[in-house]
């Protein structure tokens, strides 16, 4: 969790949003998490196979007390390219956020141009 939090903070930092209120900061974190969620979900949905889920389920059945994330880790470690899938999803999330940030910067710049300061 620590790394993913750092990743989100990295996104916020790279978006160059200036000083944020605590509320806005948390709202943004939430929104970014959702972006990441969506990317991960899309990526995994298009990658996971029945065989992967079988690994997952086997792990759960063999380790009924273990948390689900352990089963997920087992599933992913069973197929290394899934790790790349996750990385790809994070990368896409980052790029997407930067793309939107750039679009906003540009819109603001255009607004500045249209209405120059007195």
Partner 1 sequence: MKQSDIDHGQGAVDAMQSAFAGRDWAMGDLEPGTNETGALWLAMTGEHDNYETVVPDVNNLYNAMGTTRMKVFKNMILADRGPDGQIQDRDVARTLIMADPIAYRVVLEQQRAALAARKIMEGSDVKAMLAIDPTFTRRERWQKPKGYTDYQWFLTRQTERYLDDNFREAESYDDLNEEGQAIYREAMGRMAPHLTVLNPNSNLDWINHDDQKDLRKTLRELIGEEDLGKKADEATRREEEKVPESPEVIALVSYLRQSPEPRIVDTNDVLTYEQAVRIGGIITAAGTDVENGWTIINAPGDGEDLTDDCTFRRTGRKCFTGATKRLLDVRNEEIGGSTEQADDHLNPIGKLHKEVNKYKRRKEEDFAEREEQVKRFKKGSDALGVVVDKEDARIAALQAISRARVSIEDMGTVASDDLTAQGILQVYVKNQSKAVDNLDTATIESRAKRRLYRREFKTEIADDHEPNNLFMKLERDPPEVNSGGKNDTDLSDQITIVRQGMVSVEDAADALHQRYQTDDKAVKDEKKLWKELMADDRNFDDEMESELRDTDIALKRDGSRWVLEDEKGNKYRSFKDMTASHKVASDGVSKAKQASDTRRLDTSKLISPTEVLRRLYITDPVLENQVRPKKERAFRAMASALMLTNMARNERVYNNRMNRLAEYARQGGKVRQAAGAFVDEAWRGGTEVTFTEYKQEHILTDERFKNFKDIKVNSSIAELATKVTKKEDRENLKALIEEHIRPLAEGSIQGSTLRLTDKAGGFMDPTLLLEATEAVYYTALVREKVGRGRVDKPEILVEVLKEDLDDAPATVTGRTVKTRAQVQRALQEEETAAKAESGDDGPGLLESVWKAKSLGLAARSILGALGGGDKKKKKK
Looking at residues 46 to 75 of the shown chain, list those that interact with partner 1 (rule: CB under 8 A).
Answer: 46-49, 51-53, 56-57, 60, 67-73
Which of 58, 61, 107, 118 binds partner 1 (CB under 8 A)? It is 107
For every residue of 3-54, which 3-state class applies, written as one string?
A: HHHHHHHHHHHHCCCCCCCHHHHHHHHHHHHHHHHHHHHHHHHHHCCHHHHH
Assigned token pair, 23 = 């509320």
**Of the candidates 86, 76, 69, 87, the residue with the CA atom closest to the CA atom of residue 49:** 76
Side-chain half-sphere exposure of 112, counting CA atoms within 13 A: 6
Which of 61, 66, 104, 118 binds partner 1 (CB under 8 A)? It is 104
Rounded Cα distance between 20 and 89, Å, is 26
Query: How many chain residues interact with partner 1 (CB under 8 A)?
Result: 83
Which of 62, 63, 66, 77 binds partner 1 (CB under 8 A)? It is 77
Least distance CB 80 / partner 1 (angstroms): 8
Least distance CB 62 / partner 1 (angstroms): 15
Which of 54, 63, 66, 83 binds partner 1 (CB under 8 A)? It is 83
Which of 63, 65, 108, 118 binds partner 1 (CB under 8 A)? It is 108
Closer residue to partner 1 in complex, CB, 49/62: 49
């Amino acid at each position: 969790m620590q790394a993913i939090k750092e990743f989100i903070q990295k996104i916020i930092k790279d978006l160059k949003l200036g000083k944020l209120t605590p509320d806005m900061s948390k709202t943004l974190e939430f929104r970014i998490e959702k972006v990441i969620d969506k990317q991960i979900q899309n990526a995994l949905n298009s990658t996971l196979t029945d065989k992967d889920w079988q690994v997952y389920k086997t792990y759960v059945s063999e380790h009924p007390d273990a948390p689900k994330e352990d089963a997920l880790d087992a599933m992913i470690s069973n197929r290394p390219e899934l790790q790349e899938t996750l990385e790809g999803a994070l990368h896409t999330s980052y790029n997407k956020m930067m793309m939107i940030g750039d679009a906003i910067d540009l819109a603001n710049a255009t607004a500045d141009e249209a209405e120059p300061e007195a």
